[in-house]
Each structure stands twice: as C-alpha cells, then as structure tokens.
Structure 1
Amino acid sequence: MTLIFGHRGSAGNYPENTMCSFIAASTAGADGIELDVQMTKDGELVVIHDETVDRTTNGTGYVKDLTYEEISQLDASFKFTQFKDSASVPMLNEVLEWAKQQDQLLINIELKNGIIDYPGIEEKTIELVRNNHLVKQVIISSFNHYSLVKCKEISPEIETAVLYMEGLFKPWAYAANIGAKGLHPYYHAVKKEIILQSQNYGVAVRPFTVNEPALMEKLIKENCTAFFTDFPELAVKVKTENTPL
C-alpha cells in the first residue's frame, strides 16, 4: 500500500518545516513527514529548507552564520501570516521528541549539505535519532550522496535514500552500490518500469513533490512505495477513494 509523506509537513496550507505544519500532516493521516536540516553557527541542527533564513522567515542571512538563539527569535510563518505568533524554526531534536510520541510516524530527514558543507552533520543527526529511539522510523536522504555513504558507515541500521532530479540509469543498482534502500526522485524522473524494477530489487521508490490528484491516483494504482506531497490531507482522501474495501 502506498504511503503518504507530508512534504515539510503540510506545506501547502501551513508554514513549511514548522511544528504546526508537522502536526497538521500527522492529524491529516499522513504515514510520515519530511523535513530539512541545516546547521547553525553554534553547531545546532535546525529544521529549515534554505541555506538562508530570508525566504521563510522575517530574518536575513545564512543559517551557518546565525546562532540558534538568533534563529529561534525569527517568525517562520512564511506566507501564512495567520500563524505569525506560533511559527518558529524548530530544532531537529524538538521535532524528533514530538514524533516519537506519534503512532509509528515515519520521519524522512533530508540533510541539506549539497551546497554548504556542514562538518559533523551526519554524526549529530544520527546521534539525535538514536537518542530518541527512532532508528526504525527514520529515513535519511540527501542530494549529497557522499553524505549518504558516510551515514551508512556510521549507522548501517538507519535507511538511506538517494535524492535525484533527472533520469538515472538503473537507479536501483546505483542505490545498492552506495548502500541505500530508497530512491527519492523528482516525480518527472520516475516511470512505472522504474518503480517495478526498483521494488523487485528491494529498493523503495518515493517521488517528490506530488500535488496533483491525478498523479497521486496513478502512483497509488502503480503500487509505488510512497510519495511526498504538500497536501497530505488531499492525498489521504485520494488514497481512501482508490483503496479497495
């Protein structure tokens, strides 16, 4: 059965990568959430997509140049101004502590170290996952495949997944080569035969970011492992309508 991951929580209707967005995704019935991790100047792991705080908060500057104390003061309501007083940039540990109280909620942690090198981000992330006893519920993904290999070396028991944008030849073989058990392609880069071949080789396929009901329905009918969506509530509805009683 196809699983639904709330992309940055429920980013279509809530401020992305905030606690209210993650709670909304879980409440909507999503099987998992996806979040992005960067590192502050003082070495704290924070949940924010961009390398800078400019787009999603009322602040400016690179995450790497700001302390967590400075970032924690920012309004992260993004374009959803109705959440102005309740949306801040959470620490990764804050999200994980909440997630472990949910009923087997899956957590996809995307390491955002493709542009900026954050020394130690893999070790710190894995330490938090282990401390929160979430090893079996976490998937670590990244566009930085060197980082995925490093994660696998540190923690063979945590699943890793390959993020990629364009056509990849025999992606299931590439995933196996770097020890990854998942493929997270941009939805334009995934075809039915790739889904089938990959899953036959024991590699999960979870495309992003799937927001159109017709595509959701197509992936569900093709028994795709999962997909990421900004609208988990809509995806749950489509899944229910396309699941035999």
Structure 2
Amino acid sequence: MKRFIKFKVAVLTMLLLSLSYAFGQHAPKTAESILTKFKHPSNDHILVVAHRGDWRNAPENSIKAVEYAIAMGVDIVEIDVQKTKDSELVIIHDKTIDRTTTGKGKVSELLLDSIRKVKLRNGAGMPTRYHMATLKEMMLAVKGKPVLVNLDKAWDYIPETYRILKETNTVNQAIFKGNRSFKELRSAIGKLADSIIYMPMVWPVNYNIYKAAETEGPVTFTKEYIKEFKPIAFEVIYNAEDSPVLEAIKLMQEKKVTVWVNTLWPELCAGHDDENAMDDADAHWGWVIAHGANVMQTDRPAELIRYLEKKGLR
C-alpha cells in the first residue's frame, strides 16, 4: 500500500512538473517562444539583442560570437549581410574586409574563395583562427537554437536572403528590417513582404536610403505601416528626449506593436546608451524601458541581462 501511494505521488509530481514547463514560467526557451514574445510585447519582459554577437569575446559577426551570445542567454543576435562579387551572401558589417579581417578589399569586388583565405580579427584587431561565415552557414549554426536573428543590411538582398532561409528552414528565426516606406517595400519585393518578418525603421525624419531624400515624418510613417502592413515590430531611432519618434512610440504602444530600441551609441537613444548605463543603469537603460522599449539591442548583453533580471524583467 505504501509503495502504491509513493508511486501515485511520484506520478502526480511528474505531471505537475510537466504542466509547469508547458504552461508556466519554467517553460524551456525556444526560438518559437522568443518569437511569441516578440509578437506580443509586454511591460514585464524585455528581449535582449546582442549587437554583432558577443564581439567582446569572439570576432564580431562570427559564428563563435553568435554561439557565445546564445550561451549567455540573449534572445536575438544581430548580424550584417553583404554580397560578394560571385553573389554569395556573407556575414560582415563593413563594405570592405580591411577592418575585421587580415585581408583587404571591397566585399563586392572579392570572390568567396578569396574571402575564405583571410582570418577574422578580434575586437583588439588581432588575427584569430576564425573565418568569415556565409549566411547559409550562419543560419545552419543557429537552426533550432533558442535565438532569433536580425539581418541588418539585408534590405538590398531580400529575395536572395529569403531563398537561403527557405533552404535552411529558418524563415521564422529571421528578422528583416529597412527604411523603405510601405509603398516602396511592396513595389520592391511584392508579396514576399507577407512571407517574412519585416521590421520598419523609424527615424526622427525618415530618410529613404535609396533616394537619399527626406520622406514623411515618424508618426505618418508609422501610421502608414500599421494601416497597410501591421508589422510585428518597429525599430526606433531617436537622438533627443523630445524627438517626434517618442510620439510614434506612443502610437506603437496603443496598437500593441513591439518597440525595438538600440542602446549602442548616444545618438540612437537620446544619450541613454550602454556606456552611460554602466555608470547608472536606472537613469539610462531604465529611461529607455520607461519610454516604451520592449526589445533592446546592446553591446553589453551580459550586463543588460543581469540588470533586467534584477528588475524582474526577464
């Protein structure tokens, strides 16, 4: 009888644990669960984005930097996409390989085979054993891992990038972004816009990167996208605390659309950047959160995660 009771208790315990993992806060983190939070912004949880991966401990934009960032517990990694002379998509920020590798030259004028021969440099500029990854290699490396990927600079290669995502079965792990108005986006890629996660970028005065001319202001730009496209998120850039972008953020909150803020440099977040946050996190990261951020891209992911955990926002 005692054995039977112990068995029933054990079964009941296992059932309760399973339910807590399935429905409670202890559910295992997955790319799908991160995407759910990305789609449904909350004041109780801030998603953390590692800018170019964990570039303090591995070369920026490298697979190793991304792996370190995932191990650290970030939700999203930002990487940069460029195209080689032979139309291969590779992961590098600059238009040249001079700063981040042991080689020289423009990415667009180099063949992939040539790029393969150079090595990536670390944050101090020293050569490492790592090589530049292709977009396909990067997406295969993150496939199935608990992370999303923000594809910066892929706006000129959306169809080609999408083909790689389809091939690697990682479409739902990737976030595109860009400055185009909705009409320009639809004209450029048509119905493909409906098959990807696309995040418009909202500036104090939106600049069309294709025509280098001023377009509509941030509130008008935001309203158009919400009406015509209903994006999951907007990336916002504001260089002052009285920026009109703050009014656009209020509209995003009203419509329950995720607000993505970059705290990398002062001009991106009205001076409330990562380095200032190292001296007073509440005055800077706290200010950004109080003014609508649901997602924060940072060069200090470990410190930001600790701060958010302390505030009960993770």
TM-score by length of 2: 0.67
Unaligned 5+ segments in structure 2 are 1-44, 206-216, 265-273
Question: Could you say which residue in structure 2 is the equivalent of 1:16?
Answer: 60
Note the alpha carbon deviations across 1:48-69, whole angstroms, 9 max, x for none: 1111112211221111100111
2:86, 2:112 within 8 Å by CA — same for their partners in 1?
yes
Question: Could you say which residue in structure 1 is the equivalent of 2:252?
Answer: 198
Between the aligned partners of 1:47 and 1:11, the Cα distance in structure 2 is 13
Question: Could you say which residue in structure 2 is the equivalent of 1:2?
Answer: 46
Whichever of the two has the greater Rg, that structure is: 2
Question: Could you say which residue in structure 2 is the equivalent of 1:225?
Answer: 294
Question: Could you say which residue in structure 2 is the equivalent of 1:169?
Answer: 218
Q: Tell me the secondary structure at the aligned position of residue 188 of structure 1.
A: coil
Deviation of residue 221 (structure 1)?
4.4
Deviation of residue 186 (structure 1)?
2.8
Between the aligned partners of 1:244 and 1:162, the Cα distance in structure 2 is 25
Between the aligned partners of 2:65 and 2:48, the Cα distance in structure 1 is 15
Partner AA of 2:153 in structure 1:
L
Identify the structure with bigger relative contact order (alpha carbons < 8 Å, sequence gap 6+): 1
Question: Could you say which residue in structure 1 is the equivalent of 2:137?
Answer: 94
Residue 181 of structure 1, aligned match among 222, 232, 235: 232
Between the aligned partners of 1:10 and 1:217, the Cα distance in structure 2 is 22
Deviation of residue 112 (structure 1)?
4.9
Q: How does 1:1-245 map to 2 (within 5 A)?
A: 1-80=45-124, 84-103=127-146, 105-112=147-154, 121-143=157-179, 148-149=185-186, 150-151=188-189, 153-167=191-205, 168-170=217-219, 171-176=221-226, 179=229, 180-188=231-239, 193-210=247-264, 211-212=274-275, 213=277, 214=281, 215-222=284-291, 224-243=293-312
Partner AA of 1:135 in structure 2:
V
Between the aligned partners of 1:15 and 1:206, the Cα distance in structure 2 is 25
Deviation of residue 244 (structure 1)?
6.3
Unaligned 5+ segments in structure 1 are none
1:187, 1:209 within 8 Å by CA — same for their partners in 2?
no
* Aligned-pair Cα RMSD in Å: 2.7
Partner AA of 2:165 in structure 1:
V
CA shift in 2, pair 1:46/1:130, >3 Å: same
Deviation of residue 71 (structure 1)?
1.0
TM-score by length of 1: 0.84
Between the aligned partners of 1:144 and 1:54, the Cα distance in structure 2 is 29
Question: Could you say which residue in structure 1 is the equivalent of 2:34?
Answer: none
CA shift in 2, pair 1:223/1:144, >3 Å: closer
Deviation of residue 158 (structure 1)?
1.3
Question: Could you say which residue in structure 1 is the equivalent of 2:267?
Answer: none
Note the alpha carbon deviations across 1:103-123, whole angstroms, 9 max, x for none: 2x111111356xxxx6xx221
